[in-house]
Amino acid sequence: MSQQSIQQILSLIQPTGEIHLGNYLGAVRNWRNIQDKYSCVFGVADLHAMTMPYNPKKLREATWKMIYQLLAAGIKTENLFVQSLIPEHMELCWILSSVCSYGDLSRMVQFKDKSSYLRDSGGKDELVSSALFFYPVLQAADILIYRADHVPVGKDQEQHLELARGIAQRFNTTYKVDYFKTPQPLYTEVPKVLSLADPNKKMSKSLGDKHVINVFGDPRRIQKQINSAVTDSGEADPDSMSPGVANLFQILRVCGAEATYKRLEEDYRNSRLMYSDLKQSVSDVLLDYLAPMQERYAEITQEKRKYRDQIKASSADIRKKAQDTLREVREITGLQNVKY
């Protein structure tokens, strides 16, 4: 796509505390690669984290930890913000709720999945908050407040982006304006990284620690995880890799070890591959690939105050864009304007 066709890109990530390999390859690496080509804003969505049961102190810590990890992964300071430092997101959310129907929200698949998870894990008395039901409107506000042209999305977020597009269109129709753009999805080549412990499932924190490789985790633990990765019994058809073996080969490829990939793939095709050699190669390649980010993370965490101040400053700068939008939205919707 030409630079003219994409002017503004917006994406957010929840502060789950650790970026795992699936997160990095599925989102963060793409953010790093596009930030020099387009106008980008990337946020840590701490408000969204409130939709599920949480500990306030741990949320604050996890938010800053995610910021440090994003910086270590190569995201530029000036492109990063903390969602709760820009309260205009919440204000626009309320305004947009007036043009979003209950029916639209009730069809959101993630609400059904997460509410079922809460009930199953906490019992029938576990609170399913209205925020969990309502947060797609906040997600729409996150996108529309920066007038985003494109939003990098995975397949699991398509429904929420479609809702944001619908809200933008209904706002324009309701107020007879051509104000909000209808943001388009930005699809990229995203490798699906599977759990090493259960390669029939996608790598996810919800499965437990043994299922994820933390990008900034202890190298010895990463090596141990790879060494214990599920492969197969050795009796599979050589023309049809098992999910576990294919997953290890994919990690080699996404880390750029093409020569090693081809050599071991040839061994596999000729039925002479030893899984111990494959795992050792994956371990060596992945640890080399992660080392620069881990070193950068160690440096950043030694100067936390400096980086917190920088992100607070970048959030304040990015907030000015949000305030410009709110001034105009207040005027369009007949609300009293305030001096930001």
Name which of 88, 78, 94 is nearest 145 in CA terms: 88
Residue 36, class by beta-carbon neighbours within 10 Å (0-12 exposed, 13-18 middle, 19+ buried)?
Answer: exposed
Q: Which residues pair with 39 in a beta bridge?
A: 8
Q: In what order do the strands lie in the sheet with 150-152?
A: 80-82, 39-44, 8-13, 150-152, 184-186
Active site residue 224: no
Catalytic residue among 114, 304, 306, 312: 114
Residue closest to 250 by CA, chosen among 213, 221, 220: 213
Count other Cβ atoms within 10 Å, centred on residue 173.
Answer: 10
Q: Are 42 and 318 in contact (CB under 8 A)?
A: no
Catalytic residue among 76, 181, 202, 321: 202
Provide the 10 A C-beta neighbour count for residue 62. Answer: 20
Burial (CB < 10 A; 0-12, 13-18, 19+), residue 251, is buried
Compute the distance between CA of residue 166 and CA of residue 137 in angstroms, rounded to an integer.
Answer: 11
Q: Tell me the C-alpha distance between 28 and 21, whole Å.
A: 10
Does 58 qualify as catalytic in the annotation? Answer: no
Q: For this structure, is 202 an active site residue?
A: yes
Which member of 205, 262, 312, 321 is catalytic?
A: 205
- The answer to whether 80 touches 29, Cβ cutoff 8 Å, is no
Q: How far apart are CA 328 and CA 285, in angstroms?
A: 51
Active site residues: 114, 202, 205
